[in-house]
Structure 1
C-alpha cells in the first residue's frame, strides 16, 4: 500500500475512534474512556471570546470556596456506575451568548439603552458578595470610566469594609473603594468591547474560622462602545506667554505631588472623566439610556491610575490641549472681570481672550462648531485684595465656538488618579488661605474645594452645552454636594458647620435638572449611532388659528415647552411631548389653547402674563413673549376679500434705533386682486426690507430700502400660476436672512446672512403681515 494511503487510513481510524469515545461516554460505557469525579473537565478554548462568554463557574479564591452557592457548581451527567462524566461538547461548536445573563447590544434598535428599568443581579459566590444595582449585567455604555453603585453583605446588619474592582484580563490595575453600611460606589475603567469585572468584598468584621480575612466575590459584564461619530468636547489649559506653568498649592502638596503643568493635566483629565461618569448616570436615571458626550483621546502615557504614572504604561486617554496666550502673566492677571477685582487698572474680558486663543488654535470654519472647556492655569489667589486673579467662571459662545472658562485656584484639591477619588472627596484638611483661596467661603476644606472647582467648572460646561440657570441641580450650584455622587459617607462640612450624611443615597446626590437632560438628549454631542436621522430643518412654527387655538409644528417633532409666568426667571413648569423609549416619535404638530396651558400652572400664577419657549427634537427653539396675545383676537386680521388672516409670533426684539412696526397685506389678497410679478429684497448682513411689485405697476414696501444698492430681485413665473407661499427666515435679535418659498416648490437664495440664527419659516399666504 502506498505510504500516503496508509496515512489516510490512520486519519480515518483516528476520527472514528474519537466518535466512538464520545458515543461510549454519553451512553454510560465506562471502558477505557470514562471520566471519574476526580478527572478534569475537557479542555476549553483559551480565546478571549470563549473565556468571556463562559458562564459555567467563575473562578474563586480559596477563602471564598466554602461560601460559594451550590447553584453555580458545574453540572455533570451521572452514569450507571455512579461516577460523573462531563457533558458532551460538539467538536468545532462556538460558544453562544446566554440570553438569560446579558443584554445583547443591537445597533438597529438598541433596546438596552433605555430599558434597564430593573437591573439584573450578577452571579455571586456568597450572599455577602457585592451586588451592583445601578447597571444591569451585560449593559452597553459609551464612556471609558463608568460609575457603579450597589450593596454588600446583609443590609439588616450593615457593616463597613472595602471592595476591590479587578478589571477584565488585568488590563487595568485593581482599584479599592470603601464600603459604608454595606453600600458602595466605585468607578470602573473599561476597555472597548466586552469587560468582565470581578468585585471582591472584604471586611475585618468578617473572618473565617482560621482567622484569615474572607473574600466574597461577584462578577459583572459591561460592554463599552466608544463613540466616534459625534463631535467631542475638547479640554484645554490656557497659559500666559511667560507663565511659570504652576498653579496654587500649599507647600505640603507641592512636595508630595508637585504643582506643575503635568500635574495640572492629570488632575484636569480626572475631573473631566468624573463629569462624564456623573452625566451618563444622570441621563440613565432620567430614562435616556447611558448616553453621554465624548472626549478627543490620544495614545499617551496613562494617568488614570498612579501605577500607570510610575510604569509609564501607554493608554488611549482624553487629550488636554495646552494653548499659550499672546498676553503676558501680568496682562492676564490684570484682565479680571469688574466684579472680581474692582481696583484693576485695566478691566477686560477673559472670556474674549480665551475665545480668541481657542479660535486661533482650532481654526473652525463656518458650520464646523467646536465645543471647548478651558482652564486658566495662571489663576492666582491674591490674599492682599482677597480675590482670585486670572479667573472667570463663564460659559456660552457663538455658532463656531461654544466655550466655558474657569480658573485653577481649586486644582490642588482635585484627584489625580482614580485611586484618589474617594480620598479627595472625604479629605477634611482645612484650606490654608495663605496659599490657596476659600472660594466664596464654600471651600473651607479640601473635599469642599474639590466640589466647588470640579462642580462649578461643570456648571460652566453646562452653559456651553446650551443649559440656562435652573431652579435646581448643577445649573443652580447643586455641585456643592457633588461628593455624594462618588462617596457613600460624607465628611464634616465647614460650609454648613455640620457633620455630613452617614449614608449618601441617590436622593441626596447632586443632579442635572430634568430640563438639562432633555437638552442633552437632542444635543449633537450626545447622539448615538443607533439614533434615527432627523430632518435637517430643526425650526418650529407657531400659528394662531380659529377659536383662540395655537398650532405648533416642527419637522423634527415638538420635544417640550417651557412656561414662564411673569415673575419667574427660571423655568418651574414645563410640558413634555417626547416618548422616553422612542424620542424621534415626538409629535410633529400639537394644538394648544390658553386654558389647557394655564391648567399646567399653580393656581396663584394662572392669571399672570405668560411667556412660552418651545423646543424641537432637532435643537430648534422659539419664544412666544405673550401667549395670551398670540391666542387672542389680536392675532387675527380680516383680509379685504373677507377671509381671515393670522399673525404668527413676532421675530426679533425691535431694539435697534429707529425700529418701527410695519404691516403689509399683499395686493393679491385685495379686491380686485393684483397679480404679483416679483419681490425685491433689500439686505446687507441682515434684512432691511422687501418690496412687492404688481402687474399694474404698483408696489407694497415692507420695511425700508436699505442694505446693498438696488437690492436683489426674485421674479415669479406667472405663466405657471406661481405664487408666494411663504418665507424661510433666520432670525435672532433681528431678522438675519430671508428665503422666498413659492407654490411650485421653488426657493430663492437666502438674502442677507445665510448663517444667522434659525427662526420661524414657511409662513402661509394668509399669515403674511
Structure 2
C-alpha cells in the first residue's frame, strides 16, 4: 500500500458499494464464502475517493522522499558489490490485481529497477557464483549453484527466464542438486528468474511443481580497453567449407556462415570461463572484450528463424593471398613429422592480419585466428593447414588454430550442454581425432575450443605453466559448463558424476596475475598508475639487491636451474588484487629467495623474473652473479660501483663487451656536455663528449648518419641521472633522463622490446 494511504481507514469493498457509507455484507463475505463465486474480489479504490483524499493531504515532497532510482546504482559500480535496495516512488494502485501464476511468484514487472523477490520455496535454485545485484562486463555470464535439498540430491532441470523475455528461455540440467548455466544479459539491470522442476518431486494436483527464485545482475559493457579480435582466415580460392561428417553437413551445414556461428559461440565460452576464473582468484569480474557489431543474432537458434538483430562479437573474414593448395602443403603442417616449415602458417597469418588491421606503433592488435581450410588427410595421418601457435611482436599479438574440430562446437547457447555431452564417436574417415584425445564429439569440442584458448593465452602473454590451460588442462574444459560428465574415450572411464569447481579446468594463478595487469583486462574503476611501467634492479652493499618500480612490484617468479616452468613465486599484491598496496621498492637477498625453494634446489643457479603492476618485467639470469664481486666495480674516484643485470642476449654477430664510466666519476671530474646517439631501428652506440674536446664511445657508430645529439645545460648544472631502455634480443631504444627532470625522446625503436 502506498505510504500516503497507510493511515486511511478503508475496508475492502466492492466497486459498486465503495462510495456508500455503509458496509455491504455480501461483498465483505465473498472472499471467505467457500460456496461463493470463483471471481476474485476487487481491492482497488475508486479514483474519486483517492482524489478527495489527496485534496486534503499531499504526500511529502522533500528531497529525502524523492530519491532517484538511477542514483542507487552508483555505489554499486565496484565489482561484485551489491546494489542497495531502491526506495521507489509510491505508485497508485493499478486497475489489475497482482497475479500469481505459481504460488509465491509475482508477475514480472516492467519497472526499470526490479524489486527483490523471495524464492517461492526452499527447493528453489540458489546461485552461488555471483551475488544478487552484482555488476558484470560480459554478455554471456556463467553461473552455477544448487537446487532442492543438497542433503537429499536429486536430478531435474533449471529453466532460465531472461530479463523482459529479451532472450528465449534456456534449460539446464540439474545433477545431484547442482546446476550450471549460461545466461544472456542485456546492458543495464537484468532480473533473471530461475525455475527448478524435477519429476521426482511430488505435486498435490498431479502437475509438475515449479520452484522459482530471482537474481538481479547489472551488465555494464566496456569500451575503454583494447578488444580481442576474432578472425577466420580463408584461402583466395577456398570453397569456404570445413571438415564435417555427412550427417553434420545435412543437419547444420559446414559453410562459412556456420563456421562463424560456432567460432563466435566458442569465443563467448572462453570469455565466460575466463571471467569466472578471475573472480575465483580474487580479481573481480574482469575479462577481455570483443569488438561487436549490430548483426543477425546467432547466440540462440530462434534469432535466425525470426531475423532478430543483436549486438554480438564480430568475426572478421580475411582473404589470404595463398591458395588452398599452398595452405594445405604438408611442409607447413605442424603435426606432420617430416614437415620442414612448421611455423610458416604463423607468418602467413601475421602478414594477412597486419595488412587487414594496419596497426599503428604503440597500439598493438590482439587477434585470435582460425584457418578455415584446415583439412584432415587420412592417408598422411595429419591435419593439413593447421598449426597451434601463439605469440607475436610489438604490433600484432596473434594466435592461430585450425578448423578441424569445428563440427563438434556448439552454434548457440542451447547447444552447449548437448555439445559437451555428445558421445558420438569421431569418424576419422571425415574428421580428425586431434592428438588421439578427441575420440568422441564432446572430447573433440574440448580439444578444439580448449587448445585454441591455450594459444590465445600465449597472445595475451602467458607462457606454459605447471598446470591449467597453459599446460593441457583444457581436456576437461567441458566440466566448466556441465554438472555431470559423460564417458571418456581418452581415459576409457565413465566421467564424473558431479563436476564441482575443484574438478574443473582452470587458468593457473600466474596466468590470472598477468591478466590482472594486461591492457585488455582493465576496468574503468582501476586506479590510474604511473606511465612508467618499467622495473629497475640494482645491486647494493651487503649482497642485497634493490628492486624498484614506479607502478608497484606485483610478483616475482623463481627458476632454479633445470626448471623450465615456474613452480615458486612471491606475490606482493593486496588481498583484493589491486596495485594500491603493492610496494614500489623492495630489497632482496639471495638467502631469502633460496629459502623459498625445496632443499634439493637451493644450491642451483637461480633465475629471477620480476613483474610490475604496469605490465612490464625484468629478468635476472643469475641472481648470485648479480650480488657477487662480478657485479661490483671500483670507480676512478674511489667509490664503489655496481653493475646492473645485462640487457639483450649478445647473440648478434660481432657483439663485444664494452664498459664506460662517465667522466663525472673520474679524478678530476670531467664535465659532460653532450651525448650523441647512433641509432636506426635499434641502438648502435653512444658517444659522450666532455669539456676539452674529449669523448668516449660506447658501442659503435652506425645507423643514422651522424647520429642525434642530446646537449646538456651545464649552466644549470644538468647531469645525467639514468637511462630508460627498451630491450629484447638486442637494445631497441634508449631515453636519457637528467637531474632537471628532462627526458630525451626514445632513440631507436620506441615500441620495440619491453621497457
Q: How does 1:156-555 map to 2 (within 5 A)?
A: 156-334=151-329, 336-337=331-332, 339-342=334-337, 349-555=344-550
**Per-residue Cα deviation, 1:639-673 (whole angstroms, up to 9, x for no partner):** 12221111111111111112111112222211122
Q: 1:122 to 1:729 in 2, by over 3 A?
A: farther
Aligned residue among 622, 629, 638 for 2:625: 629
Match of 1:732 in 2: 728
Range with bigger deviation, 625-634 or 455-464: 625-634
Query: Given that residues 79 and 285 in structure 2 are in contact (C-alpha distance below 8 angstroms), is that contact kept between their aligned partners in structure 1?
Result: no
Q: 1:489 to 1:20 in 2, by over 3 A?
A: closer
SS of aligned partner of 1:273: helix
Query: Given that residues 335 and 350 in structure 1 are in contact (C-alpha distance below 8 angstroms), is that contact kept between their aligned partners in structure 2?
Result: no
Q: 1:673 to 1:104 in 2, by over 3 A?
A: same
Aligned residue among 646, 652, 663 for 1:650: 646
Q: 1:261 to 1:27 in 2, by over 3 A?
A: closer
Give the Å deviation of 1:240. Answer: 0.8
Q: How does 1:698-709 map to 2 (within 5 A)?
A: 698-709=694-705
Match of 1:85 in 2: none
SS of aligned partner of 1:492: coil
Gaps of 5+ in 1: 1-17, 44-87, 115-120, 760-769
Give the Å deviation of 1:190. Answer: 0.4
Distance 1:374 1:273 in 2: 15
Distance 2:272 2:720 in 1: 52
Aligned residue among 136, 147, 150 for 2:145: 150
Range with bigger deviation, 673-682 or 211-220: 673-682
Distance 1:676 1:368 in 2: 36
Q: 1:406 to 1:557 in 2, by over 3 A?
A: same
Give the Å deviation of 1:224. Answer: 0.5
Distance 2:368 2:253 in 1: 24
Distance 2:514 2:138 in 1: 19
Match of 2:53 in 1: none
Match of 1:74 in 2: none
SS of aligned partner of 2:199: coil
Match of 1:745 in 2: 741
Give the Å deviation of 1:210. Answer: 2.4
Query: Given that residues 483 and 498 in structure 2 are in contact (C-alpha distance below 8 angstroms), is that contact kept between their aligned partners in structure 1?
Result: yes
Distance 2:475 2:204 in 1: 45
* TM-score of the aligned structures, taking structure 2 as reference length: 0.87
Give the Å deviation of 1:253. Answer: 0.8
Aligned residue among 581, 589, 592 for 1:593: 589
* TM-score of the aligned structures, taking structure 1 as reference length: 0.85
Match of 1:72 in 2: none
Match of 2:8 in 1: 24
Aligned residue among 602, 607, 611 for 2:603: 607
Query: Given that residues 336 and 389 in structure 1 are in contact (C-alpha distance below 8 angstroms), is that contact kept between their aligned partners in structure 2?
Result: no
**Per-residue Cα deviation, 1:243-271 (whole angstroms, up to 9, x for no partner):** 11111111111111111111111111111
Give the Å deviation of 1:578. Answer: 1.2
SS of aligned partner of 1:256: helix
Give the Å deviation of 1:620. Answer: 0.7
**Per-residue Cα deviation, 1:355-387 (whole angstroms, up to 9, x for no partner):** 111111111121221111111111110001000
**Per-residue Cα deviation, 1:592-649 (whole angstroms, up to 9, x for no partner):** 1111111221111111101011111111111100011112232221112221111111
SS of aligned partner of 1:462: helix
Give the Å deviation of 1:753. Answer: 2.1
Range with bigger deviation, 222-231 or 330-339: 330-339
**Per-residue Cα deviation, 1:545-569 (whole angstroms, up to 9, x for no partner):** 1111111111111111111100000
Match of 1:106 in 2: 75
Range with bigger deviation, 683-692 or 570-579: 683-692
Range with bigger deviation, 423-432 or 698-707: 698-707
Query: Given that residues 333 and 389 in structure 1 are in contact (C-alpha distance below 8 angstroms), is that contact kept between their aligned partners in structure 2?
Result: yes
Q: How does 1:674-685 map to 2 (within 5 A)?
A: 674-685=670-681
Distance 1:196 1:21 in 2: 29
Query: Given that residues 105 and 139 in structure 1 are in contact (C-alpha distance below 8 angstroms), is that contact kept between their aligned partners in structure 2?
Result: no
Give the Å deviation of 1:338. Answer: 5.8
Match of 2:656 in 1: 660
Distance 1:415 1:377 in 2: 17
Query: Given that residues 540 and 642 in structure 2 are in contact (C-alpha distance below 8 angstroms), is that contact kept between their aligned partners in structure 1?
Result: yes
Give the Å deviation of 1:19. Answer: 12
Confirm whether residue 618 of structure 1 aligns to residue 614 of structure 2: yes
Query: Given that residues 159 and 194 in structure 2 are in contact (C-alpha distance below 8 angstroms), is that contact kept between their aligned partners in structure 1?
Result: yes
Match of 1:763 in 2: none
Q: 1:165 to 1:620 in 2, by over 3 A?
A: same
Match of 1:5 in 2: none
Query: Given that residues 288 and 580 in structure 1 are in contact (C-alpha distance below 8 angstroms), is that contact kept between their aligned partners in structure 2?
Result: no
Distance 1:585 1:482 in 2: 34
Match of 1:755 in 2: 751
Confirm whether residue 638 of structure 1 aligns to residue 622 of structure 2: no
Gaps of 5+ in 2: 32-39, 46-56, 84-115
Give the Å deviation of 1:741. Answer: 1.9
Aligned residue pairs, count = 690
Q: 1:31 to 1:402 in 2, by over 3 A?
A: same
Give the Å deviation of 1:109. Answer: 5.3
Query: Given that residues 334 and 346 in structure 1 are in contact (C-alpha distance below 8 angstroms), is that contact kept between their aligned partners in structure 2?
Result: no
Distance 2:134 2:568 in 1: 34
Match of 2:100 in 1: none
Distance 2:233 2:245 in 1: 22
Q: 1:271 to 1:108 in 2, by over 3 A?
A: closer
- RMSD over equivalenced CA pairs, Å: 2.8
Distance 1:20 1:226 in 2: 39
Distance 1:205 1:105 in 2: 44
Q: 1:478 to 1:202 in 2, by over 3 A?
A: same
**Per-residue Cα deviation, 1:80-106 (whole angstroms, up to 9, x for no partner):** xxxxxxxx995886687799xxx9553
Distance 1:498 1:347 in 2: 35
Give the Å deviation of 1:335. Answer: 6.2
Aligned residue among 665, 669, 675 for 1:669: 665
